[in-house]
Amino acid sequence: MSRVLLGVSGGIAAYKACELVRLFQARGHEVRVVATPHALEFVSALSLQTLSGAPVRSELLEAGAESEISHIALADWAEVFVVAPATANVLAKLAQGLADDLLTTVALACRAPLVVAPAMNVNMYRHPATQANLDLLAKRGARIVGPGTGDLACGWVGEGRLVDLDAIAAVAEACVTAPTLRGEVVLVSAGPTAEPLDPVRVITNRSSGKMGFAVAEAAARRGAEVVLVAGPSSLPTPHGVTRIDVETAREMREAVLGALERATIVVLAAAVADYAPAAAAERKLKREKADALVLELVRNPDILAEVVTRRGSRTVVGFAAETDHVLENARGKLARKGCDLIVANDVSRSDIGFDVDRNEVVILGPGADDVREIPAGPKAEIAARILERVLEVRTR
Protein backbone atom coordinates (compact mmCIF):
# COMPACT_ATOMS: atom_id res chain seq x y z
CA MET A 1 0.00 0.00 0.00
CA SER A 2 1.27 3.46 -0.90
CA ARG A 3 0.40 6.96 0.24
CA VAL A 4 -1.14 8.82 -2.70
CA LEU A 5 -1.56 12.58 -2.55
CA LEU A 6 -4.15 13.61 -5.12
CA GLY A 7 -4.03 17.19 -6.36
CA VAL A 8 -7.24 18.40 -8.00
CA SER A 9 -7.29 21.57 -10.08
CA GLY A 10 -10.23 23.59 -11.38
CA GLY A 11 -11.49 22.01 -14.59
CA ILE A 12 -14.71 20.23 -15.46
CA ALA A 13 -12.93 16.89 -15.13
CA ALA A 14 -12.51 17.58 -11.41
CA TYR A 15 -15.74 15.66 -10.83
CA LYS A 16 -13.82 12.48 -11.72
CA ALA A 17 -11.58 12.99 -8.69
CA CYS A 18 -14.16 11.22 -6.55
CA GLU A 19 -13.96 8.14 -8.73
CA LEU A 20 -10.16 8.34 -8.74
CA VAL A 21 -10.06 8.39 -4.94
CA ARG A 22 -12.22 5.28 -4.85
CA LEU A 23 -10.05 3.58 -7.46
CA PHE A 24 -6.83 4.18 -5.52
CA GLN A 25 -8.47 2.89 -2.37
CA ALA A 26 -9.79 -0.20 -4.12
CA ARG A 27 -6.22 -0.92 -5.20
CA GLY A 28 -5.09 -0.75 -1.58
CA HIS A 29 -3.69 2.77 -1.31
CA GLU A 30 -4.20 5.49 1.29
CA VAL A 31 -5.36 8.77 -0.29
CA ARG A 32 -5.33 12.38 0.77
CA VAL A 33 -6.60 15.26 -1.35
CA VAL A 34 -5.34 18.77 -1.87
CA ALA A 35 -7.55 20.89 -4.13
CA THR A 36 -7.43 24.37 -5.57
CA PRO A 37 -10.31 26.67 -4.55
CA HIS A 38 -11.58 26.59 -8.15
CA ALA A 39 -11.59 22.77 -8.11
CA LEU A 40 -14.01 22.87 -5.19
CA GLU A 41 -16.45 24.78 -7.38
CA PHE A 42 -16.73 21.64 -9.52
CA VAL A 43 -16.65 18.98 -6.79
CA SER A 44 -17.40 19.39 -3.10
CA ALA A 45 -14.80 19.08 -0.38
CA LEU A 46 -17.34 17.07 1.62
CA SER A 47 -17.57 14.41 -1.11
CA LEU A 48 -13.80 14.10 -1.40
CA GLN A 49 -13.37 14.06 2.37
CA THR A 50 -16.04 11.40 2.84
CA LEU A 51 -14.51 9.17 0.19
CA SER A 52 -10.87 9.63 1.21
CA GLY A 53 -11.50 9.53 4.96
CA ALA A 54 -9.22 12.52 5.48
CA PRO A 55 -9.74 16.30 5.52
CA VAL A 56 -9.47 17.98 2.13
CA ARG A 57 -6.97 20.82 2.14
CA SER A 58 -7.32 23.81 -0.16
CA GLU A 59 -6.17 26.93 1.69
CA LEU A 60 -2.51 27.87 1.85
CA LEU A 61 -2.88 29.53 5.23
CA GLU A 62 -5.37 27.65 7.37
CA ALA A 63 -5.14 28.34 11.09
CA GLY A 64 -6.20 24.86 12.14
CA ALA A 65 -3.49 23.17 10.11
CA GLU A 66 -0.50 25.48 10.23
CA SER A 67 0.82 24.18 13.54
CA GLU A 68 2.51 21.45 11.48
CA ILE A 69 3.26 23.71 8.46
CA SER A 70 0.66 21.92 6.38
CA HIS A 71 2.21 22.18 2.93
CA ILE A 72 5.43 20.61 4.21
CA ALA A 73 3.57 17.92 6.14
CA LEU A 74 1.54 16.96 3.06
CA ALA A 75 4.64 16.98 0.86
CA ASP A 76 6.54 14.76 3.30
CA TRP A 77 3.58 12.38 3.70
CA ALA A 78 3.19 11.65 -0.01
CA GLU A 79 4.90 8.69 -1.66
CA VAL A 80 3.50 9.77 -5.02
CA PHE A 81 1.85 13.07 -5.95
CA VAL A 82 -0.84 12.81 -8.65
CA VAL A 83 -2.31 15.97 -10.15
CA ALA A 84 -5.54 15.03 -11.94
CA PRO A 85 -7.01 16.87 -13.63
CA ALA A 86 -4.12 19.23 -14.35
CA THR A 87 -5.36 22.39 -16.05
CA ALA A 88 -3.22 24.50 -18.37
CA ASN A 89 -2.87 27.06 -15.58
CA VAL A 90 -1.62 24.52 -13.05
CA LEU A 91 0.75 22.99 -15.59
CA ALA A 92 2.26 26.44 -16.17
CA LYS A 93 2.72 26.97 -12.44
CA LEU A 94 4.26 23.53 -11.92
CA ALA A 95 6.66 24.04 -14.82
CA GLN A 96 7.77 27.50 -13.71
CA GLY A 97 7.98 26.72 -10.00
CA LEU A 98 5.24 29.15 -8.99
CA ALA A 99 3.63 28.55 -5.61
CA ASP A 100 0.64 30.81 -5.07
CA ASP A 101 -1.82 28.25 -3.68
CA LEU A 102 -1.62 25.14 -1.53
CA LEU A 103 -1.45 22.64 -4.40
CA THR A 104 1.49 24.32 -6.15
CA THR A 105 3.25 25.05 -2.86
CA VAL A 106 3.03 21.37 -1.90
CA ALA A 107 4.33 20.43 -5.36
CA LEU A 108 7.37 22.66 -4.92
CA ALA A 109 8.16 21.09 -1.54
CA CYS A 110 7.37 17.50 -2.50
CA ARG A 111 10.19 15.05 -3.20
CA ALA A 112 7.87 12.22 -4.22
CA PRO A 113 7.39 11.29 -7.89
CA LEU A 114 5.00 13.60 -9.72
CA VAL A 115 2.29 12.25 -12.04
CA VAL A 116 0.40 14.79 -14.14
CA ALA A 117 -2.83 14.09 -16.05
CA PRO A 118 -3.65 17.08 -18.30
CA ALA A 119 -7.28 17.96 -19.04
CA MET A 120 -8.38 21.04 -20.97
CA ASN A 121 -9.73 22.40 -24.26
CA VAL A 122 -7.92 21.01 -27.31
CA ASN A 123 -6.65 24.45 -28.37
CA MET A 124 -5.29 25.14 -24.91
CA TYR A 125 -3.58 21.75 -24.95
CA ARG A 126 -2.02 22.35 -28.36
CA HIS A 127 -0.83 25.85 -27.51
CA PRO A 128 2.99 26.08 -27.71
CA ALA A 129 3.17 27.36 -24.13
CA THR A 130 1.31 24.32 -22.79
CA GLN A 131 3.44 21.94 -24.85
CA ALA A 132 6.61 23.65 -23.63
CA ASN A 133 5.43 23.33 -20.03
CA LEU A 134 4.70 19.63 -20.48
CA ASP A 135 8.11 19.09 -22.09
CA LEU A 136 9.82 20.88 -19.22
CA LEU A 137 7.98 18.85 -16.60
CA ALA A 138 8.83 15.62 -18.42
CA LYS A 139 12.53 16.56 -18.57
CA ARG A 140 12.46 17.09 -14.81
CA GLY A 141 11.11 13.57 -14.30
CA ALA A 142 7.36 14.12 -14.07
CA ARG A 143 5.26 11.34 -15.56
CA ILE A 144 2.74 12.75 -18.03
CA VAL A 145 -0.26 10.50 -18.61
CA GLY A 146 -2.75 11.46 -21.30
CA PRO A 147 -4.65 13.37 -22.31
CA GLY A 148 -7.28 11.27 -24.06
CA THR A 149 -8.94 12.21 -27.33
CA GLY A 150 -12.63 12.63 -28.04
CA ASP A 151 -15.61 14.87 -27.32
CA LEU A 152 -14.79 17.65 -24.85
CA ALA A 153 -17.14 19.41 -22.46
CA CYS A 154 -16.61 22.68 -24.34
CA GLY A 155 -18.03 21.17 -27.54
CA TRP A 156 -14.72 20.73 -29.34
CA VAL A 157 -13.34 17.34 -30.38
CA GLY A 158 -9.69 16.41 -29.98
CA GLU A 159 -7.00 16.01 -27.35
CA GLY A 160 -7.82 17.25 -23.90
CA ARG A 161 -10.01 14.64 -22.19
CA LEU A 162 -8.82 13.36 -18.86
CA VAL A 163 -7.25 10.02 -19.65
CA ASP A 164 -8.77 6.77 -18.38
CA LEU A 165 -8.49 6.64 -14.60
CA ASP A 166 -7.00 3.15 -14.65
CA ALA A 167 -4.09 4.52 -16.67
CA ILE A 168 -3.51 7.26 -14.10
CA ALA A 169 -3.51 4.71 -11.29
CA ALA A 170 -1.17 2.39 -13.19
CA VAL A 171 1.40 5.13 -13.82
CA ALA A 172 1.22 6.28 -10.20
CA GLU A 173 1.75 2.73 -8.96
CA ALA A 174 4.69 2.23 -11.32
CA CYS A 175 6.38 5.23 -9.70
CA VAL A 176 6.41 3.52 -6.32
CA THR A 177 7.01 -0.06 -7.48
CA ALA A 178 10.53 -1.41 -7.86
CA PRO A 179 11.19 -2.46 -11.49
CA THR A 180 11.93 -6.03 -10.46
CA LEU A 181 10.81 -7.44 -13.82
CA ARG A 182 12.70 -5.01 -16.04
CA GLY A 183 14.17 -6.92 -18.96
CA GLU A 184 11.60 -9.71 -18.70
CA VAL A 185 8.94 -10.45 -21.31
CA VAL A 186 5.84 -11.76 -19.56
CA LEU A 187 3.19 -13.64 -21.51
CA VAL A 188 -0.19 -13.88 -19.76
CA SER A 189 -3.41 -15.59 -20.78
CA ALA A 190 -6.68 -14.51 -19.21
CA GLY A 191 -10.42 -14.94 -19.32
CA PRO A 192 -12.65 -17.68 -20.68
CA THR A 193 -12.82 -19.17 -24.14
CA ALA A 194 -16.05 -19.36 -26.14
CA GLU A 195 -16.62 -22.41 -28.31
CA PRO A 196 -19.36 -21.84 -30.94
CA LEU A 197 -22.36 -24.15 -31.28
CA ASP A 198 -23.85 -22.07 -34.06
CA PRO A 199 -23.63 -18.42 -35.18
CA VAL A 200 -25.52 -17.36 -32.02
CA ARG A 201 -24.63 -19.72 -29.17
CA VAL A 202 -21.33 -20.64 -27.51
CA ILE A 203 -20.09 -22.93 -24.76
CA THR A 204 -18.14 -20.88 -22.24
CA ASN A 205 -17.50 -20.57 -18.49
CA ARG A 206 -17.82 -18.07 -15.67
CA SER A 207 -14.30 -16.64 -15.81
CA SER A 208 -14.16 -12.84 -16.06
CA GLY A 209 -10.44 -12.59 -16.73
CA LYS A 210 -9.87 -10.32 -13.72
CA MET A 211 -7.08 -12.43 -12.23
CA GLY A 212 -5.11 -12.69 -15.47
CA PHE A 213 -5.58 -8.99 -16.20
CA ALA A 214 -4.33 -8.21 -12.68
CA VAL A 215 -1.21 -10.30 -13.29
CA ALA A 216 -0.57 -8.51 -16.60
CA GLU A 217 -0.97 -5.10 -14.97
CA ALA A 218 1.26 -6.02 -12.02
CA ALA A 219 3.98 -7.27 -14.36
CA ALA A 220 3.88 -4.10 -16.46
CA ARG A 221 4.07 -2.00 -13.31
CA ARG A 222 7.27 -3.85 -12.39
CA GLY A 223 8.92 -2.94 -15.66
CA ALA A 224 8.22 -6.01 -17.78
CA GLU A 225 7.18 -6.05 -21.40
CA VAL A 226 3.79 -7.74 -21.23
CA VAL A 227 1.71 -9.56 -23.83
CA LEU A 228 -1.82 -10.41 -22.73
CA VAL A 229 -3.79 -13.03 -24.67
CA ALA A 230 -7.40 -12.44 -23.63
CA GLY A 231 -10.50 -14.50 -24.20
CA PRO A 232 -13.86 -12.70 -24.48
CA SER A 233 -13.74 -9.94 -21.85
CA SER A 234 -14.95 -6.36 -21.51
CA LEU A 235 -12.14 -5.46 -19.11
CA PRO A 236 -9.97 -2.52 -20.20
CA THR A 237 -6.44 -3.25 -21.38
CA PRO A 238 -3.97 -2.52 -18.57
CA HIS A 239 -1.70 0.46 -19.19
CA GLY A 240 1.46 -0.48 -21.07
CA VAL A 241 0.24 -3.97 -22.00
CA THR A 242 -0.01 -5.39 -25.54
CA ARG A 243 -3.33 -7.22 -25.87
CA ILE A 244 -4.31 -9.98 -28.29
CA ASP A 245 -8.03 -10.81 -28.30
CA VAL A 246 -9.14 -14.35 -29.08
CA GLU A 247 -12.33 -16.34 -28.75
CA THR A 248 -11.79 -20.09 -28.93
CA ALA A 249 -9.27 -22.35 -27.24
CA ARG A 250 -7.59 -23.03 -30.57
CA GLU A 251 -7.26 -19.32 -31.24
CA MET A 252 -5.79 -18.88 -27.77
CA ARG A 253 -3.29 -21.67 -28.44
CA GLU A 254 -2.17 -20.03 -31.69
CA ALA A 255 -1.79 -16.63 -30.01
CA VAL A 256 0.11 -18.00 -27.00
CA LEU A 257 2.50 -20.07 -29.12
CA GLY A 258 2.95 -17.15 -31.49
CA ALA A 259 4.09 -14.92 -28.63
CA LEU A 260 6.08 -17.60 -26.82
CA GLU A 261 9.42 -17.18 -28.54
CA ARG A 262 10.29 -13.87 -26.84
CA ALA A 263 8.64 -14.67 -23.50
CA THR A 264 10.79 -15.31 -20.44
CA ILE A 265 7.87 -15.78 -18.03
CA VAL A 266 4.55 -17.40 -18.95
CA VAL A 267 1.50 -17.13 -16.67
CA LEU A 268 -1.46 -19.06 -18.07
CA ALA A 269 -4.40 -17.85 -15.99
CA ALA A 270 -7.08 -18.33 -18.64
CA ALA A 271 -9.96 -20.74 -18.02
CA VAL A 272 -9.63 -22.63 -21.29
CA ALA A 273 -12.47 -24.92 -22.35
CA ASP A 274 -11.39 -28.57 -22.21
CA TYR A 275 -13.86 -29.51 -24.95
CA ALA A 276 -15.46 -27.87 -27.97
CA PRO A 277 -18.28 -28.90 -30.34
CA ALA A 278 -16.97 -31.19 -33.06
CA ALA A 279 -18.53 -28.85 -35.61
CA ALA A 280 -20.44 -25.61 -35.33
CA ALA A 281 -23.75 -25.37 -37.17
CA GLU A 282 -23.71 -22.93 -40.04
CA ARG A 283 -27.18 -21.65 -39.11
CA LYS A 284 -28.90 -21.07 -35.79
CA LEU A 285 -30.16 -24.31 -34.27
CA LYS A 286 -33.97 -24.27 -33.91
CA ARG A 287 -35.58 -25.70 -30.80
CA GLU A 288 -38.73 -26.62 -32.73
CA LYS A 289 -36.91 -29.34 -34.66
CA ALA A 290 -36.05 -31.62 -31.73
CA ASP A 291 -37.07 -32.30 -28.15
CA ALA A 292 -33.47 -33.02 -27.23
CA LEU A 293 -30.11 -31.90 -28.57
CA VAL A 294 -27.10 -34.21 -28.49
CA LEU A 295 -23.72 -32.55 -28.86
CA GLU A 296 -20.53 -34.27 -29.94
CA LEU A 297 -17.60 -32.68 -28.12
CA VAL A 298 -13.93 -33.05 -28.96
CA ARG A 299 -10.94 -32.36 -26.74
CA ASN A 300 -9.30 -28.97 -27.09
CA PRO A 301 -5.51 -28.63 -27.22
CA ASP A 302 -3.73 -28.51 -23.85
CA ILE A 303 -2.04 -25.11 -24.04
CA LEU A 304 -0.20 -25.39 -20.71
CA ALA A 305 1.22 -28.83 -21.51
CA GLU A 306 2.37 -27.66 -24.93
CA VAL A 307 4.05 -24.56 -23.51
CA VAL A 308 5.89 -26.73 -20.97
CA THR A 309 7.29 -28.91 -23.76
CA ARG A 310 8.74 -25.73 -25.30
CA ARG A 311 9.75 -24.22 -21.98
CA GLY A 312 13.51 -23.91 -22.34
CA SER A 313 14.68 -21.40 -19.73
CA ARG A 314 11.22 -19.89 -19.31
CA THR A 315 9.37 -19.92 -16.01
CA VAL A 316 5.88 -21.35 -16.59
CA VAL A 317 2.96 -20.84 -14.19
CA GLY A 318 -0.37 -22.60 -14.53
CA PHE A 319 -3.68 -22.11 -12.71
CA ALA A 320 -6.01 -24.69 -11.20
CA ALA A 321 -9.59 -23.54 -10.63
CA GLU A 322 -11.09 -26.25 -8.43
CA THR A 323 -14.40 -26.86 -6.66
CA ASP A 324 -13.31 -29.70 -4.35
CA HIS A 325 -10.11 -31.29 -3.02
CA VAL A 326 -8.35 -28.11 -4.15
CA LEU A 327 -4.81 -28.91 -3.03
CA GLU A 328 -4.97 -32.56 -4.04
CA ASN A 329 -6.25 -31.76 -7.52
CA ALA A 330 -3.81 -28.89 -7.99
CA ARG A 331 -0.88 -31.05 -6.91
CA GLY A 332 -1.96 -33.66 -9.46
CA LYS A 333 -2.15 -31.03 -12.20
CA LEU A 334 1.33 -29.75 -11.33
CA ALA A 335 2.74 -33.26 -11.63
CA ARG A 336 0.97 -33.96 -14.93
CA LYS A 337 1.82 -30.67 -16.61
CA GLY A 338 5.38 -30.28 -15.34
CA CYS A 339 5.23 -26.49 -14.96
CA ASP A 340 7.22 -24.57 -12.35
CA LEU A 341 4.26 -23.38 -10.28
CA ILE A 342 0.53 -23.97 -10.03
CA VAL A 343 -1.79 -21.32 -8.56
CA ALA A 344 -4.82 -23.05 -7.04
CA ASN A 345 -8.06 -21.46 -5.91
CA ASP A 346 -11.50 -22.62 -4.84
CA VAL A 347 -14.00 -21.30 -7.38
CA SER A 348 -16.96 -22.87 -5.57
CA ARG A 349 -16.88 -19.92 -3.17
CA SER A 350 -18.88 -16.85 -4.17
CA ASP A 351 -16.56 -14.39 -2.37
CA ILE A 352 -13.40 -15.29 -4.29
CA GLY A 353 -12.53 -16.64 -7.72
CA PHE A 354 -14.69 -16.07 -10.76
CA ASP A 355 -16.06 -12.62 -11.58
CA VAL A 356 -15.24 -10.93 -8.24
CA ASP A 357 -12.46 -8.53 -7.28
CA ARG A 358 -10.94 -10.69 -4.54
CA ASN A 359 -9.16 -14.00 -4.51
CA GLU A 360 -7.47 -16.42 -2.15
CA VAL A 361 -4.92 -18.81 -3.59
CA VAL A 362 -2.30 -21.40 -2.81
CA ILE A 363 0.88 -21.42 -4.90
CA LEU A 364 2.34 -24.91 -5.27
CA GLY A 365 5.87 -25.72 -6.38
CA PRO A 366 7.38 -29.08 -7.27
CA GLY A 367 8.57 -29.93 -3.75
CA ALA A 368 6.19 -31.67 -1.33
CA ASP A 369 6.61 -28.81 1.13
CA ASP A 370 6.62 -26.08 -1.52
CA VAL A 371 3.27 -24.58 -0.56
CA ARG A 372 2.64 -20.84 -0.27
CA GLU A 373 -0.77 -19.80 1.05
CA ILE A 374 -1.89 -16.32 -0.02
CA PRO A 375 -4.76 -15.02 2.14
CA ALA A 376 -7.83 -13.39 0.70
CA GLY A 377 -7.29 -9.93 -0.75
CA PRO A 378 -7.78 -7.79 -3.85
CA LYS A 379 -6.71 -9.54 -7.02
CA ALA A 380 -4.09 -6.82 -7.57
CA GLU A 381 -2.42 -7.89 -4.32
CA ILE A 382 -2.72 -11.58 -5.21
CA ALA A 383 -1.10 -10.85 -8.58
CA ALA A 384 1.80 -9.09 -6.86
CA ARG A 385 2.35 -12.08 -4.56
CA ILE A 386 2.29 -14.49 -7.51
CA LEU A 387 4.96 -12.46 -9.30
CA GLU A 388 7.08 -12.33 -6.14
CA ARG A 389 6.99 -16.14 -6.10
CA VAL A 390 7.89 -16.26 -9.79
CA LEU A 391 10.94 -14.09 -9.14
CA GLU A 392 12.03 -16.42 -6.34
CA VAL A 393 11.84 -19.34 -8.75
CA ARG A 394 13.80 -17.50 -11.47
CA THR A 395 16.62 -16.44 -9.17
CA ARG A 396 17.13 -19.65 -7.23
Q: Where are the domains of the chain?
A: 3-175, 185-395
**Cβ of 309: how many Cβ atoms within 10 Å?**
8
- Complete DSSP assignment for 324-340: SSHHHHHHHHHHHH--S
- pLDDT average, residue stretch 80-90: 95
Give 334-366 pLDDT, tens digit per residue: 999 999 999 999 888 888 778 788 888 999 998
Is 185-395 the same fold as 3-175? yes
DSSP 3-state of 323: coil
- pLDDT average, residue stretch 212-232: 95
Looking at per-residue pLDDT, the higher value among 95 and 154 belongs to 95
Is the predicted pLDDT of residue 281 greater than 70, yes or no? yes
18, 154, 175, 339: the catalytic one is: 154
- Domain 3-175: CATH superfamily, name plus number: Flavin prenyltransferase-like (3.40.50.1950)
- pLDDT average, residue stretch 129-155: 88
Nearest residue to 212 via CA among 184, 252, 177: 252
Task: Note the pLDDT of residue 381.
Answer: 87
**Cβ of 335: how many Cβ atoms within 10 Å?**
11
Q: Which segment of 86-90, 178-182, 224-228, 346-350 scores lowest on mean pLDDT?
A: 346-350
Q: What predicted TM-score, i.e. pTM, was given to this entire model?
A: 0.79
> With bands split at pLDDT 50, 70 and 90, how would you rate the model's confidence at 380?
confident
- pLDDT average, residue stretch 305-327: 92
Under DSSP, the state recorded for 205 is -
Is the predicted pLDDT of residue 378 greater than 90, yes or no? no
Q: Output the average pLDDT for the chain.
A: 90
> With bands split at pLDDT 50, 70 and 90, how would you rate the model's confidence at 70?
low
- CATH architecture of the domain with residue range 185-395: 3-Layer(aba) Sandwich (3.40)
pLDDT more than 90, % of the chain? 65
Instruction: Identify whether 154 is a catalytic site residue.
Output: yes
Q: What angle do CA 206, 212, 214 make, to 5 degrees?
A: 120
- pLDDT average, residue stretch 290-317: 91
Task: Note the pLDDT of residue 63.
Answer: 53
